[in-house]
Structure 1
Amino acid sequence: MTDKGAIAWDYPTPFIHEVTVEPQHIDDFQHTNNVVYLTWMAKTAWEHSKALGLDFAAYARLNRGMVVRRHELEYLAPSHAGDKVLIATWITGNDGRLRLRRRFQMVKASSGATLLRGLSDFVCINIETGKATRMPDEFTKTYRLTASVDGDN
């Protein structure tokens, strides 16, 4: 297995969530189904949010939440049953008002090969109404940038 520190991450100091490709993730082409990668992106974003101290209890207390507006995924190589995949995420955009951007890089742990690059754009909503609303100060402070990417902020 490649050392996580030796991987050529797109940006420094990622938050990393590790998964193992399970048989139920495999499609008719005998590799991980595209939808699974999207699921892993969502799970990794949520794990990072919880690690930062913003879990759903905090969202409920604030009556605010971050929901996906758009995903972009670029598939570069397949993964297969039994592979360990390291999913890195960075917060690369936060306008302090409504929008947040995360970037992702998925790497096959055994080789260090990048499998996918992606991004997700989020908007802040009022949980009760479902309408877009300004981020509370807690979101602005907690979801600070973890990497700088031209055009993302």
Structure 2
Amino acid sequence: MARAVLEPREDREVFVVPLAIRPEHIDDNGHVNNVVYVGWLQEAGTAHWNARFDAETRARWSWVALRHEIDYLRALQPDDVAVARTWVGDPQGPRFARYVRIEDGQGRLCAQGLSEWCLVDASTLRPHRIPADMLPTFEAR
């Protein structure tokens, strides 16, 4: 059973990532394969992180995906245009929930996902509580 439609919180930045639908993404049913969406969830989160934090911060910290959950609502076809809209929830120690909406070129919701990410020290890969000074970067501008 699909969850309610994910809507971004007003206090969070919604970061938009264009998605490329490549020929290898199309499965035997003629639409984007479900596995591709998992990659898009990761791609959206990584793009958001890379766009908002400098090289020094990105060298110090890394993220590890703990779980992904996706609701598939409308199939994307080979000629469709798609975007991912992503935002984060509240930190829970070293964890962040990241939400992603995948929409077609007409703004129709095609899939939505929730990923749980854990912040780790890049040199030791040990979990680390999300620093308070990191949080404002994810707030609405």
**TM (normalized to structure 2)?**
0.81
Residue-by-residue CA offset, 1:60-98 (whole Å, 9 max, x unaligned): 2x2x21211111100111001121101100112223x31
Aligned to 1:123: 118
Corresponding residue of 1:14 = 14
Contact 1:93–1:102 (8 Å) recurs in 2 = no
CA contact under 8 A between 2:50 and 2:58: conserved in structure 1? no
Provide the rounded CA distance (Å) in 2 between the counterparts of 1:20 and 1:98: 31
Which of 66, 70, 87 in structure 2 is aligned with 1:69? 66
Aligned 8 A contact 1:32 1:79 in 2: yes
| Large movers: runs of 4+ above 4 Å | none
Instruction: Flag the 1:54–1:39 CA change in 2: closer, same or farther, 3 A.
Output: farther
Q: Structure 1: how far apart are the matches of 2:87 and 2:28?
A: 32
Identify unmatched segments of 5+ residues in structure 1.
1-7, 147-153
- Give, in whole Å, the separation in 2 of the partners of 1:59 and 1:48: 12
Alignment partner of 1:104 out of 96, 100, 104: 100
Q: 1:91 to 1:145 in 2, by over 3 A?
A: farther
d(CA) in 2 for partners of 1:122, 1:54 = 19
Give the distance between the partners of 2:115 and 2:6, measured in 1 at CA.
18
Amino-acid identity (%): 26
Post-superposition Cα deviations, 1:26-46, rounded to whole Å, max 9, x if no partner, equal 011111011111111111111
Gaps of 5+ in 2: none
1: CA distance, partners of 2:129 / 2:84? 29
Residue 93 of structure 1 pairs with residue 84 of structure 2 = no
Residue 108 (structure 2) pairs with residue 134 (structure 1): no
* Structure 1 position 135, deviation (Å): 2.9
> Counterparts of 1:137 and 1:10 in 2: how far apart (Å)?
24
Report SS of the residue matched to 1:82: coil
- Give the Cα–Cα distance (whole angstroms) in 2 for the partners of residues 89 and 42 of structure 1: 10
Pairs aligned (count): 133
Q: Secondary structure at the match of 1:120?
A: strand
